[in-house]
């Protein structure tokens, strides 16, 4: 899930073009979202099947890792540019660029995950095949520090190493509806790596980022998560 080589290549991916389907305004992180997450320890996990996601939600996670989306310190001598970002915002510091970088790192993780689950792509609507596999979960991690924050491939966020957690520490994000998204995609031929391919990857990732934000804004209960030290 976290191959460094694959993710390093990801950061060379071009940004979506001006003709890309627009991302919904509610799918972007705000300073208020950062403050709401606050000092909680929270991971974002990707698995590649409905069966796998359902099993972890019902029985817990065994030796699974997750992307750090908290504002904790890096492990060892590693630093994190997002450390205590929520406190910087609360102090009134201008963190516009850091919030944008935080969102970008999460988006790139989602895109990389979606590409892992894509089948053969020859038509624009084929891009939706990843929705049949890709599932995202919230992890209430037991780790107090993030590893690999120094790798540019993680966008500075780092990851939480493998751990085993009970079902109460796993929360499923809502699965996207393939039929709903297909209404926003104009059918046309497509090839991996072309401009339209990139646009549609970002479009689908925007929707999943929106589901993450829906959880943070509507369902997030800070008291059920462990807190930073």
Handedness of CA 25, 157, 95, 112 (dihedral sign): negative
Render pLDDT for 65-105 as a digit per residue (tens, 0 to 9). Answer: 999 999 999 987 788 999 999 999 999 999 999 999 999 99
CB 135 within 8 Å of CB 197: no
| Residue 61, phi then psi, degrees to nearest 5 | -110, 135
Render pLDDT for 159-189 as a digit per residue (tens, 0 to 9). Answer: 999 999 999 999 999 999 888 888 888 889 9
CA distances to 136, 179, 191 from 68, rounded to whole Å, are 13, 31, 32
Structure tokens at 88: 């910087």
Helix ranges (DSSP H) in 14-49: 31-37
Please give the mean pLDDT across all residues of the chain.
90
């Amino acid at each position: 899930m976290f191959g460094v080589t694959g993710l390093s290549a990801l950061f060379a991916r071009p940004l979506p073009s001006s003709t890309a389907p627009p991302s919904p305004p509610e799918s972007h992180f705000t300073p208020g979202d950062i403050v709401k997450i606050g000092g909680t320890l929270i991971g974002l996990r990707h698995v590649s099947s409905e069966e796998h996601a359902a099993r972890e939600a019902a029985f817990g996670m065994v030796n699974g890792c997750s992307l750090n989306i908290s504002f904790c310190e890096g492990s060892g001598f590693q630093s994190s540019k997002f450390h205590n970002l929520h406190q910087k915002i609360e102090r009134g510091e201008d963190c516009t660029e850091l919030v944008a970088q935080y969102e970008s790192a999460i988006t790139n993780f989602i895109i990389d995950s979606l590409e892992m689950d894509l089948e053969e792509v020859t038509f624009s609507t084929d891009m939706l095949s990843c929705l049949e596999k890709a599932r995202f979960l919230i992890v209430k991690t037991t780790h107090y520090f993030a590893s690999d924050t120094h790798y540019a491939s993680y966008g500075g966020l780092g990851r939480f190493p493998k751990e085993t957690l009970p079902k109460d520490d796993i929360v499923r994000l809502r699965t996207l509806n393939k039929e709903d998204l297909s209404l926003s995609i104009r059918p046309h031929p497509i090839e991996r790596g072309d401009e339209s391919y990139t646009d549609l990857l970002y479009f689908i990732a925007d929707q999943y980022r929106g589901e993450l934000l829906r959880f943070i804004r509507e369902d997030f209960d800070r008291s059920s998560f462990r807190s930073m030290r």
